[in-house]
Amino acid sequence: MKKTSIRDLVTRFSVPLMFVLICAVCAPISGLSPTYLINEIVTRMGRNAFLILSLLIPIMAGMGLNFSMTLGAMAGEIGLILVCDWQIVGIPGMILAMIISVPISALLGLFCGKVLNMAKGREMITSYIISFFINGIYQLVVLYMMGPIIPIKHGSIKLPRGYGIRNTVSLLSMRQKLDNLIPLNIAGIKIPVATFIVVFILCIVIVRFRKTKLGQDMRAVGQDMEVARDAGIDVERTRIISMILSTVFAGIGMIIYLQNMGNIATYSSHSQIGMFCIAALLVGGASVDKASIGNVFLGIILFHTMFIVAPKAGTVITGDSMIGEYFRVFVSYAVITVALIMYETGKRRAKSREGQMLAQQQEVSDED
């Protein structure tokens, strides 16, 4: 059995360790009470977990970090906008928004999967650019088609010019309805039980899914596409299904996220969500080709602790809260950059190691 050295472990978990250090330093400086901090982390865990879990399936299928999860987020937002206009409130409103978002997400996931099949090996950059492309179409739909083509009745949602949706849509009628469905308060810490149950169900689905025929196929495709193809797996179809599932889950996740927030920033809510979810997953110790449910939860705890304490710590140290704001934003991007570099370096190292071994084998066979 191969022995893992401490150096290997430190290298592998360098990002989570770095974040533990940042949080350990910043948390006492920020002066925030432990109750407040835990409350915030628990709230953010309920808010973000579903979205981040949606990233696991494409990683399993070897498609890397799904930057196009924003497509699902857009579908979720469209569902919520329509439901708001129809005045369907509370949990029924959320369920209806999910039902509306699923076919839209599935279609977008299908499109994205087909495009990514044409760009094998460059999935992440392609999915990133697709999200910009679909954002343009989303804007066309929301800004010009909602009103004249898709009926929107309420003036509180529609722009005063008569078409298009306002910058912010209030979700007051369904704000934290899922979070507060089963109220539980332990030592001043509000626990969104119902949201956690939904997240737990998704975790179970992911764990069970891995054991199904399709899940095994996805893992095989993720390990080696050519070997999987030789084994009779329809690689392209499997990859498309993984994208559809991820996009659909992202759509549902976005609805859970926005019900917690209580409003939709129509033109910007989705644009940052992919980046922050990916950063959180990477902070949890995931990599481009390997991620687990544990990484999701560790990532949320560390990334969001940093998000909460950094501005306060920045204010205490420098007297300017903006320093902390800059810090948390640049750290998010830096984490993604570091993960991508580490992935590429690892790949190159593995390739060169394989080459060296092949050369050694050839030398041995020549000597014989």
Partner 1 sequence: MKIKKRDKATWIVRGVTLLIVIAIAVLMFIIGRGHTIYFDNKPFESAGDKIEAPYKVEVLVGGEKVARLKEGERGMVETMGQSFDMQLVITKEKNGKSSKVKVSLPIPYNMDGVVINLPAMLAGKGPEDYMTEFVPTPSSAELEDEEVVTDETEGLMDFGDE
Task: Please report, as ranges, the residues that interact with partner 1 according to CB under 8 A.
Answer: 86-93, 95-96, 99-100, 139, 143, 154-156, 159-161, 164, 166-167, 173, 267-268, 271
- CA-closest candidate to residue 250, choices 44, 58, 40: 58
Closest separation between CB of residue 146 and partner 1, Å? Answer: 12
| Residue 158 beta carbon to partner 1: minimum distance, rounded to whole angstroms | 10
For the chain, the straight-line distance linking the first and the last C-alpha, in angstroms and rounded, comes to 29
| Two tokens, residue 81 | 């906008």
Of residues 117 and 139, the one with the C-beta less far from partner 1:
139
Nearer to partner 1, 167 or 345 (CB): 167
Select 29 or 88, whichever has its Cβ closest to partner 1: 88
Q: How far is the CB of 99 from partner 1 (least distance, A)?
A: 5
Nearer to partner 1 among residue 90 and residue 346 (C-beta): 90
10 Å Cβ neighbour count for 23? 21
Rounded Cα distance between 56 and 265, Å, is 26
* Rounded distance between C-alpha atoms, residue 315 and residue 299, angstroms: 24
Nearer to partner 1, 135 or 321 (CB): 135
Q: Enumerate the β-bridge partners of residue 337.
A: none
Considering beta carbons, is residue 189 or 214 the nearer one to partner 1? 214
The structure tokens listed for 177 are 């309805």
As measured in angstroms, the least distance from the Cβ of 273 to partner 1 is: 13
Q: 292 — phi, psi (to 5°)?
A: -130, 175
| Contact in structure between 13 and 4 (CB atoms under 8 Å) | no
Q: How far is the CB of 87 from partner 1 (least distance, A)?
A: 5
Nearer to partner 1, 87 or 362 (CB): 87
CA-closest candidate to residue 196, choices 245, 242, 260, 243: 260
Q: How far is the CB of 157 from partner 1 (least distance, A)?
A: 10
Cα–Cα distance measured from residue 227 to residue 235, given in angstroms and rounded to the nearest whole number: 10
Tell me how far, at minimum, the Cβ of 171 lies from partner 1, in Å: 12
Instruction: Supply the minimum distance, in Å, between the C-beta of residue 149 and partner 1.
Output: 18
What angle (nearest 5°) sits at the alpha carbon of residue 333, between those of residues 249 and 210?
Answer: 30
* CA gap 277, 135 in Å, rounded: 18
Minimum Å gap between C-beta 21 and partner 1 is: 31
**Cα 102-107-112 angle, rounded to 5 deg:** 120
Instruction: Give the C-alpha separation, 309 to 8, whole Å.
Output: 30
Give the residue with the Cβ less far from partner 1, 180 or 292: 180
Q: Cβ closer to partner 1: 138 or 343?
A: 138
Which residue bears the tokens 């950063």? Answer: 279
Describe the crossing of helices 193-211 and 293-318 by its angle, rounded to 10 degrees. Answer: 140
For 360, the enclosing helix (H) or strand (E) is helix 321-367
